[in-house]
Amino acid sequence: MNARPEPLPAQIQIPYEPPQLARANGIDICYDVFGYSDAEPMVMIMGLGAQLIHWDDDFCRELASHGFRVIRMDNRDIGLSSKMTGGKPFTLFELAKLRFLGTPLAAPYKLSDMADDVVGLLDVLRIRSAHVVGASMGGMIAQEIAITYPGRVRTLTSIMSTTGNPRLPQPSHAVTLTLLKPQPTGYEAFIERFKQTWLFLRVGSFPDDEARDLDRAERTYARGLSPEGVGRQLRAILASGSRKERLAKVTAPTLVIHGKVDPLVHPAAGRDTAASIPGARLMLIDRMGHALPISMWTTVIDAIARHAHAASAQARAAMTGLRKAG
């Protein structure tokens, strides 16, 4: 039996609410919305240094067409959300001390604060609970929400993310050096770095995405860069430690999606995430790196939609059973 309604016909226009600011958890959070106001809410949380537009517009429209009110947001310190202060530039020496000596890392804020931001946004939007989808660092934040605020999470989808377990395979030294290079702020240098970074993260040739990279880079640049903010977000990840043991408390139906050739977050991290959350389902995707290529959108969107609608159907059935029993 199909657990979700069919997507809306292509000719039907998906409503769109343009970016606006919400005062949440003491800061300004920029967000926009795809979908009808009475559809099931789904909040989308992006990764390290990634603005809300990295959930591609067409990806969000397609997801919304499956019956969701898709809310994407800029995390703190990125895009048009509030920029924080403090925190010195991250160094490889600090990373070595953390990995090999367990030396705690100082950070102006942690992933738990970023989880509070998301819940604060839901409060402003008067959303009691939502489907929560996170990619990479966004998956870590989504996990933190599911741990700390179980009543606010209808379902959890963790994409190309990790538990933070220090025993998992780490990125190679070459990958670490590449990603820790200071972000250029000049237009031409930024555009070139953007394109090269995504070629690396996607792993292999994806012509449809490569054709869009210039536009994506220009939109990112136009919305504003925050190299210091990216550094603070990285510190938040590393200072937050492992969630592995606490993930055993998660009660939300969980889907874990991971690429089999992810060069940044090893596929073992996806397996570890699924193994750490009771009842979680793991979906490993061939040829998928640390990105969501256009050619894989249908697979990913369909999986998210089926997961969310199946959980909603089960919740409705349970409520009906309780009413009858009462």
pLDDT at 225: 96
Spatial strand order of the sheet with 40-45 comes to 16-24, 27-34, 68-73, 40-45, 130-135, 153-159, 254-259, 281-285
Domains of the chain, CATH where assigned: 16-172+229-325 (3.40.50.1820)
CA–CA separation, 98 and 102 (whole Å)? 4
> pTM, whole model, 2 decimals?
0.93
Let me know the angle formed at the C-alpha of 194 by 270 and 204, rounded to the nearest 5 degrees: 55
CA–CA separation, 260 and 94 (whole Å)? 29
Which helix (H) or strand (E) covers residue 257, if one does?
Answer: strand 254-259
CA–CA separation, 143 and 325 (whole Å)? 34
pLDDT at 176: 73
Q: What is the mean pLDDT of each run of 10 residues along the chain (326 residues)?
A: 52 88 98 97 98 98 97 98 87 63 79 98 98 98 98 98 95 74 91 94 96 98 96 93 97 98 96 98 98 98 98 83 66
CA–CA separation, 238 and 95 (whole Å)? 8
CA–CA separation, 17 and 36 (whole Å)? 10
pLDDT at 102: 65
Q: Which residue has the tokens 């969107």?
A: 301
